[in-house]
């Protein structure tokens, strides 16, 4: 094989790696492209990778991309060092022998052994207790571990990937993180840009997140161009995680509706739910087959009226869009609408309106008093 063939082969390999990364990480901003190129380089080595970035930027996705593009064919095992109590973290990482402590009724392999032949992702390593940092350093340098309560050295063959949102250099200065461990894991650092640093990626991220929800077209919200612009102007302190929450919130509050920039600012970013009137309109649209009829003459009166009225079973769709419902208020709203309509159709004759509603006249009068419905106001 000549030099040209080798060069072409390497070029094809690099293109294949970048294609895998593009499938996992969306965005074409200069910051994102630079990060993707670094991921491609890092994935082709067995050196420890350190992923740095704010909370919610997607450091776990970067770790998965490194593993998927590497030569490691074993499992991708992850553990969050900040989510597990310090007294349990050692056993989770290194495993334990039977009888090593109270409750250890059998041998258990830790995450290091579980990830043999693959990658071990230590998320939030900046929160790892100091005593464990020393044991981790020995494991990295010796390529072997000892289970809790054991004395046998167990060889490990894996790719170590670490991540943190902490400033490790400052933690080293304050004595909260071992300097020797920092230098050992800081071989190939990858900085994940915040969402505010790659605003041009937001339109494609928004579309990808919306598509990932697998919504039917009827309930999929539509972001107008000015709404997309509003999204790109937000600072996104929660990064991609916050954007994902906003997209899910949009699907709940505005199912199948058009979303404008004012909706973004007032309802999605500020967590302000729509007004009572907007919510009531949504209820009727979800539960009535008459929502598309603008002229009552369009109805075929040869059929029974029940064919066109909203069926109670249709209300089950409510909880597909909202977390809760004020049932008493909504039932009152329905009563008010039907009473006022019955009065209008009968020229405010209470007795005839009561017949339409299949109520006693006295019962209708009580409800009218309860809801402050004045017949005189309906004479126009």
Q: Which of 18-22, 87-91, 301-305 has the lowest mean pLDDT?
A: 301-305
Does the pLDDT value for residue 346 go beyond 60? Answer: yes
What's the Cα-to-Cα distance from 91 to each of 109, 112, 285, 287, 355, rounded to whole Å? 9, 10, 55, 54, 75
Query: Going from the N-terminus, what domains does the chain have, and what CATH number goes with each?
Result: 3-193 (3.40.50.300), 196-273 (1.10.8.60), 305-378 (1.10.10.60)
Give the three-state DSSP class for 223: strand
Q: What is the pLDDT of residues 251-265, one digit of tens each?
A: 999 999 999 999 999
Give residue for tokens 């005189």. Answer: 376
What's the Cα-to-Cα distance from 308 to each of 158, 229, 293, rounded to whole Å? 65, 41, 10
Give the three-state DSSP class for 222: strand
What integer is the mean pLDDT of 158-165? 96
What integer is the mean pLDDT of 37-48? 93
- Residue 292's pLDDT is 44
Q: Which two tokens stand for residue 292?
A: 């598309």
Q: What is the pLDDT of residues 94-126, one digit of tens each?
A: 999 888 887 778 898 999 999 999 999 999 999
| Burial category of 286 from C-beta neighbours within 10 Å (exposed 0-12, middle 13-18, buried 19 and up) | buried
Q: What does pTM read for this prediction?
A: 0.68
- Residue 242's pLDDT is 94
pLDDT band at 5 (very low <50, low <70, confident <90, very high): very low
Sign of CA dihedral 245, 320, 337, 291: positive
More confident residue, 321 or 354: 354
Spatial CB neighbours of 161, under 8 Å, sequence gap ≥ 6: 48, 49, 51, 63, 66, 67, 119, 120, 121, 122
Task: Let me know: does 254 contact 210? Beta carbons within 8 Å.
Answer: no
| Burial category of 340 from C-beta neighbours within 10 Å (exposed 0-12, middle 13-18, buried 19 and up) | middle
Q: What is the pLDDT of residues 63-98, one digit of tens each?
A: 999 999 998 889 999 999 999 998 899 999 999 988
Picking from 187, 157, 179, 171, the residue whose alpha carbon sits closest to that of residue 127 is: 171
- Residue 280's pLDDT is 54
What integer is the mean pLDDT of 328-351? 86
Transcribe 87-109 into DSSP letters.
Answer: HHHHHHHH-B-TTSSTT--S-B-
């Amino acid at each position: 094989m000549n030099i040209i063939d080798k060069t072409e082969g390497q070029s094809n390999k690099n293109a294949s790696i970048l294609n895998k990364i593009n499938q996992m990480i969306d965005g074409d901003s200069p910051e994102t492209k630079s990060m993707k190129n670094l991921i491609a380089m890092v994935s082709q080595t067995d050196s420890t990778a350190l992923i740095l970035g704010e909370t919610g930027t997607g450091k776990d996705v970067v770790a998965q991309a490194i593993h998927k593009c590497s030569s490691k064919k074993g499992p991708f095992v992850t553990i969050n060092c900040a989510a597990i109590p310090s007294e349990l973290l050692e056993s989770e990482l290194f495993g334990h022998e039977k009888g090593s402590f109270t409750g250890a009724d059998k041998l258990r392999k830790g995450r290091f052994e579980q990830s043999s032949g693959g990658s071990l992702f230590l998320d939030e390593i900046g929160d790892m207790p100091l005593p464990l940092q020393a044991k981790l350093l020995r494991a990295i340098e010796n390529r072997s571990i000892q289970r809790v309560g054991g004395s046998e050295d167990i060889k490990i063959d894996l790719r170590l990937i670490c991540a943190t949102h902490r400033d490790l250099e400052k933690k080293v200065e304050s004595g909260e993180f071992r300097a020797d461990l920092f230098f050992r894991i800081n071989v190939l650092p990858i900085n994940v840009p915040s969402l505010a640093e790659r605003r041009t990626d937001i339109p494609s991220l928004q579309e990808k997140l919306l598509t990932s929800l697998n919504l039917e077209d009827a309930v999929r919200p539509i972001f107008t161009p000015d709404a997309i612009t509003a999204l790109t102007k937000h600072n996104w302190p929660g990064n991609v995680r916050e954007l994902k929450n906003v997209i899910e919130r949009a699907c709940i509050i505005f199912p199948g509706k058009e979303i404008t920039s004012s909706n973004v600012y007032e309802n999605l970013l500020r967590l302000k739910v729509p007004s009572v009137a907007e919510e009531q309109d949504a209820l009727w649209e979800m539960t009535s087959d008459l929502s598309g009829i603008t002229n009552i003459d369009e109805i075929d009166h040869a059929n029974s009226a029940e064919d066109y009225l909203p069926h109670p079973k249709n209300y089950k769709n409510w909880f597909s869009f909202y977390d809760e419902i004020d049932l008493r208020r909504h039932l009152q709203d329905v009563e008010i609408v039907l009473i006022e309509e019955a009065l209008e159709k009968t020229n405010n004759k209470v007795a005839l309106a009561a017949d339409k509603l299949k109520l006693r006249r006295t019962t209708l009068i009580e409800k009218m008093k309860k809801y402050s419905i004045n017949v005189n106001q309906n004479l126009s």
